[in-house]
Structure 1
Amino acid sequence: MKKNFRLIQLLFTYFIKIIKFIFSRIRKLFRLINSKKILAIPFYSAIAFVLYIFLLIQFSGDSKFNTTIDNKTLNDITQINPIQVNKIIKPKTINEIIYAIKTTIGPISIGGGKYSMGGQTAFENSLHIDMRSFNKIINIDKAKKQITVQAGIRWRDIQKEIDPLDLSIKIMQTYSNFTVGGAISVNCHGRYIGHGPVISSVLEIKIVTATGAVIIANRKVNTAVFDAVIGGYGGIGVIAEATLQLDDNVKVERHNQEMDIAGYKTYFDKNIRNNKDVVFQNGDLYPPDYDKIRSISWTKTTKPVTDEERLLSEDENYWLELKLSKIVSWGNSGKWIRKKIIDPLVYYPEIVRWRNKEASYNVQELEPSSRIEETYVLQEYFIPVENIKSFVPKMKTIFQKHNVNVINVSLRHALPDNESYLSWANKEVFAFVIYYKQKTNQEAKDNVKKWTLEMTDAILSENGTWYLPYQPHATIEQFQKGYPNSTKYFQLKNKLDHNQRFTNKLLNKYNPYAKNKLSQEKNKIKEYFRAEEQTILTVPEWYLVFNPKEYADYLESGRDPSDFPFYKSIDEYWKLYDRSITLTSKAYPENSEYKTMLQVIGVSMTMEYGAKIIYENTIGRFFSLFSEEKISHEEEIIIEAQRAYSNFIYQTAWYEFKFLPCIKKVWTTSEKSNCSALRKWERTLIFTFEFSFKAFYSQLIQWAANSTYETPANSIYLIVSNVGSVKENKNLKIIKKYGDKMIIAITRWEAFTTEIIKLSNQDVKIYEISGNDEIAVSAIMNNSQKINSKNIKLLYKSRIVTNDNLKRNIYFLPVDKLLPFIKDAVNKNATVEHIYDY
């Protein structure tokens, strides 16, 4: 304790010494500056200017703006697979599902609880059907022990209804949070002995196909559809309803025994496999040595319950379980603590409880406090029962080679499933459920992919397969070998869903009928995809193009440059900045790099305009007294230079403009007129100073840009329809055609707006722009004009600082509405100012 106190005391002493040293140096600096007036004046002037700029920024902007764009980014429980969809609907009736399918033409993804972990429930720019509100119980037949439910219902909600009837779910996952539709779509299993996947307990399903048709499927009617939908990952249609076989709720007693993994199969065959009294069983294989396994089984009993609860409380506090999980995740020491201390204590007491309680676990007991830097993920391997002895060493070698932080390996037995087209158990298997911890950065993701591919080869070498609800890392060749009936599955899918509308990240990777589609071609284009939030974040950046145009217009109108509203311009930039940042704050991941860039250029603009405010309201204002109705030739050239600059930056980076030739042209002009010489020379000198500084600054920026950044992409890529209407020109190129659709490339910036306006006069439809389904557009109109269209969102209005009668409206709209919107705006005499091309 004394050593710790002395260390703290020493650190505090050094901290005080450092502070004193810094203040002493600052004091000396001020003394030096104050002793020499030649240094004091510029020094304090610089400080005053910095403070002035700080205040200009502080009193500008729109800090009260609180509108945000709806978040359409979906993620799964791991939080490492964000996918932005086009639209999310939460149907409550089957007619809503049918209507959504019939009134859209793009991809459709289907999701429930989002416990699949690799994009199996979402797809970019899809219509996402969130089934969790479609959750009613339709019928319970107690005599037949059957239940019919809507697919969005959770197992737990069924348990609450059937427990008073002394009924229990026959087959489900260990945890009760999952939806029935999700469980059926992955053909789930649990710890149930004497059963295979959930398909064996499904009696009938009702699905909605890609045409909006409703199909009933069972083992007698539409059998192929039944076999494809169950375990089909939402590729055939929307599972709307399911009829399930139930079982009796009975009392179960817990037993456990630790043993060598070498003797596990013998023990299982003798004590578990054919024991009709065993309801649940799993074996926990202990990492990192994988040589010991603990069998935990629950058998039917007539003993009185030691636990009176019928179901686990949904308000259960899992703080202890989470603390213990964290300990286990520490490393090998944590694994040892679990094996030697935690598990012996957990499994020591005798427990007799109701089957329904043991089947009502909540995934909250696994949920960490944060998944930002680290997350917990599952994988699952299905190994033929006779091959587990040879597989375990291979698994151990791969985990140790890649330092995989395995928390638990749970072995569950499953009987064969010869019905589902994507069956993961064509023979009797042990399922190895791997629960591991990984970091969320890209390096960690890449490492997981690397060892998963190695593990997949090891699985295939044992004639096994792996479970598809987890990361879709397996190659196409591995997938086809592990799931040989996938050909039948995709053939049926193509028959019922010829346009491949029902899709997700998993299906899109392995579906051979998607490979020849135009959407696959875009993946070959290096610069095809651009972040959607950029369309909004570029608005303030483009204001630094619009405002110089306003300034050039203002000068050409003959108005005094000293009267230009420089502060309004500063204020407007920071308003656009605040609004853009707020709008994108919830819907998209933070784009810190672009945000910093906007701050830098905003400060630069504020410094330039702040200096002009001071100059134009002092010296400029004084010399304006000498101005005359007719301006000098030098001033005309200055106005031409401002116009040339404003036109140039619409299509090219500002720092590439040639400032020095403009200065030379002003100074080399010869004019003998009666214009005010004082005003002429004052304007010439201040213009020379401004463009000389910009020439110097632009060289620095150009040098930094060339040495730091890659050459920016010069094209924006679109998927459009009606190939006959689109003609190539220098700013529009056709990249690839497929049927009535094609990918085109349009030159960015001003050219993009010009070409899109041309397309609005043709019979063309846009499906996608740079992988995005929404885009921002600004239109200039007077205060009485309005554009009211469905799905067109007015984000905010921006000022035209030199004309109070006009406004700049910033709209956010689906890309398929872009061309009709432009046509409507033109018909209403509005000016489509810019389309913000990400």
Structure 2
Amino acid sequence: MRRLLKIIGWLLAFPVVVILLLLSPVAYVETACHADPEPDSYKPLISEPEFRRPEANTYLTYPEWHIVYAYDGLAETLKTGDEYGFDYISSVRDFWAADCALTRIADRHGGADSQTRMMIATIGVSFTLEMGLKAAYEETVGRALALWRGSEKTPQDIVAREMAIDYAAFLRQTPWYKYPFQPWIDRLWAASMEEAMRGWERRLALGGEWRTKIAYAGMIAGAVAATGEAKLTIRSVISGLPANTLSVIPDVSVISDGADGVLIETPRYDRFTHILAEITRAGGTIREIAGNDEIMVSLIVPSGSVQNDLPGEVITRLARAGFASDRLLLSVDMADLSLLLRDRQIADPGLEHIFDF
């Protein structure tokens, strides 16, 4: 009887320990990763409140992008290897390390509201749980059956690789919960069975994972519908180019032309980075974005390389999971952004992303 009670006690304690472990990085960030606000005398050119965004948002958008980059790394790993070769734990560790550094600099620029902090904590815990479960499975059962299979991938492995590449590309512009998982489940089951053990294991493991994501995506989509989706466009002020030149750039809408420059509206996310690069290549200068004079960018640099004479402030440096390179997060003045875009192409290595607000 005593032994039975002990087993029951351990079973009850296990989920409590898991929850505490998942919440511990949130507690650390919220208690140890803050800074005092700095005075800001900048007078924005975009004065309408509905088109301005808090400057802290440029730093606070990164945690979502870290998850995008993790899937980039997994897709890169699957081009030549298997799921167990991806460093899930380092990806989780770097999520929270970046969140800590970015919370501090965001505080200096006005800080985050409670809703934003809750959102980051929620996606961080979800990401930690997902990566932890994938690591536990892929580095044990997944590894064993991949080794049993040998070096030649099964048709199911190839579907998994193609899905990972497609999913990573999709996430750069569209929320994950809009991804069409079901066609990939159908492809997984339609693929011929050439090696039974690995083939069935991939069907069941990946099919189960993707079905779980379909269910979770439905919940997220419902919550977003109730609260409203994030605004998908952003306004910027550009000088050095006439309005008619800007208007022919794809996805650029000219709003007005004044003494301070041309006010434009563009899509956000990955497309935004490419539009700004095209504007600067044509000779334009970015004066302001969403009422702000500072913004965060990421650079891809060779692993361990020394980077001198960088503009702005290096916030943190992270190894890119799945790649032999590092990611630098920089906070730069708007005056330096155009110069940076002219000096560094969007490439690997080179400029990776401009984090809008």
TM-score of the aligned structures, taking structure 2 as reference length? 0.88
Q: Which residue is 1:52 aligned to?
A: 18
Q: Which amino acid aligns with 1:541?
A: E
Q: Distance in 2 between matches of 1:754 and 1:576?
A: 24
Q: Distance in 2 between matches of 1:682 and 1:726?
A: 52
Give the deviation of 1:531 after TM superposition: 0.6
Q: Distance in 2 between matches of 1:57 and 1:580?
A: 18
Deviations 1:325-374, CA, capped at 9 Å, x for gaps = xxxxxxxxxxxxxxxxxxxxxxxxxxxxxxxxxxxxxxxxxxxxxxxxxx
Q: Which residue is 2:356 aligned to?
A: 837
Which of 720, 726, 732 is matched with 2:238 structurally? Answer: 720
Give the deviation of 1:753 after TM superposition: 0.8
Give the deviation of 1:634 after TM superposition: 1.9
Deviations 1:608-632, CA, capped at 9 Å, x for gaps = 1111122123322321221222212
Question: CA distance change for structure 1 residues 693 and 575 in 2, over 3 Å: closer, same or farther?
Answer: same
Question: CA distance change for structure 1 residues 754 and 70 in 2, over 3 Å: closer, same or farther?
Answer: farther
Deviations 1:563-606, CA, capped at 9 Å, x for gaps = 21111111011111111112223441442211110000000011
Give the deviation of 1:767 after TM superposition: 1.4
Q: Which amino acid aligns with 2:248?
A: E
Question: CA distance change for structure 1 residues 693 and 45 in 2, over 3 Å: closer, same or farther?
Answer: farther
SS in 2 for 1:731: coil
Q: Which residue is 2:278 aligned to?
A: 758
Which of 694, 697, 700 is matched with 2:216 structurally? Answer: 697
Map 1:747-826 to 2 at 5 A: 747-782=267-302, 783-789=304-310, 792-803=312-323, 805-826=324-345
Q: Distance in 2 between matches of 1:678 and 1:801?
A: 29
Map 1:364-383 to 2 at 5 A: none
Which of 632, 646, 649 is matched with 2:154 structurally? Answer: 632
Identity of aligned residues (%): 25
Q: Distance in 1 between matches of 2:63 and 2:349?
A: 21
Which of 95, 110, 125 is matched with 1:573 structurally? Answer: 95
Q: Distance in 1 between matches of 2:25 and 2:38?
A: 33
> CA contact under 8 A between 2:26 and 2:121: conserved in structure 1?
no
Q: Distance in 1 between matches of 2:233 and 2:12?
A: 42
1:546 to 2:59 alignment: no
Q: Which amino acid aligns with 1:621?
A: R
Q: Distance in 2 between matches of 1:689 and 1:541?
A: 24
Q: Which residue is 1:623 aligned to?
A: 145
Between 1 and 2, higher relative CO (CA 8 Å, sep ≥ 6) is seen in 2
Q: Which amino acid aligns with 1:720?
A: I
Which of 104, 118, 121 is matched with 1:582 structurally? Answer: 104
Question: CA distance change for structure 1 residues 612 and 46 in 2, over 3 Å: closer, same or farther?
Answer: farther
Q: Distance in 1 between matches of 2:87 and 2:26?
A: 14
Give the deviation of 1:703 after TM superposition: 0.5
Q: Could you say what the CA RMSD is over the residues aligned between the two structures, in angstroms?
A: 2.9
Q: Distance in 2 between matches of 1:816 and 1:627?
A: 55
Give the deviation of 1:757 after TM superposition: 1.5
> CA contact under 8 A between 2:296 and 2:354: conserved in structure 1?
yes
Question: CA distance change for structure 1 residues 616 and 60 in 2, over 3 Å: closer, same or farther?
Answer: farther
> CA contact under 8 A between 1:765 and 1:819: conserved in structure 2?
yes
Q: Distance in 2 between matches of 1:743 and 1:772?
A: 14
Q: Distance in 2 between matches of 1:760 and 1:544?
A: 29
Larger Rg: 1
> CA contact under 8 A between 1:773 and 1:815: conserved in structure 2?
yes
Contiguous gaps of at least 5 residues in structure 2: none
Question: CA distance change for structure 1 residues 68 and 600 in 2, over 3 Å: closer, same or farther?
Answer: closer
Q: Distance in 1 between matches of 2:230 and 2:211?
A: 27
Q: Which residue is 2:262 aligned to?
A: 742
Question: CA distance change for structure 1 residues 54 and 623 in 2, over 3 Å: closer, same or farther?
Answer: farther
Q: Distance in 2 between matches of 1:824 and 1:668?
A: 48
Question: CA distance change for structure 1 residues 833 and 771 in 2, over 3 Å: closer, same or farther?
Answer: same
Q: Which amino acid aligns with 1:723?
A: L
Q: Which residue is 1:528 aligned to?
A: 51
Give the deviation of 1:830 after TM superposition: 3.3
Contiguous gaps of at least 5 residues in structure 1: 1-33, 74-83, 87-123, 126-518
Normalized per residue, which structure has more strand? Answer: 1
Which of 131, 153, 159 is matched with 1:609 structurally? Answer: 131
Give the deviation of 1:60 after TM superposition: 9.7
SS in 2 for 1:734: strand
Q: Which residue is 1:23 aligned to?
A: none
1:646 to 2:164 alignment: no
Q: Distance in 1 between matches of 2:12 and 2:282?
A: 57
Give the deviation of 1:643 after TM superposition: 1.4
SS in 1 for 2:81: coil
Give the deviation of 1:54 after TM superposition: 3.4
> CA contact under 8 A between 1:785 and 1:828: conserved in structure 2?
no
Q: Distance in 2 between matches of 1:541 and 1:528?
A: 22
> CA contact under 8 A between 2:33 and 2:103: conserved in structure 1?
no
Q: Distance in 2 between matches of 1:761 and 1:742?
A: 17
Equivalenced residues, count: 350
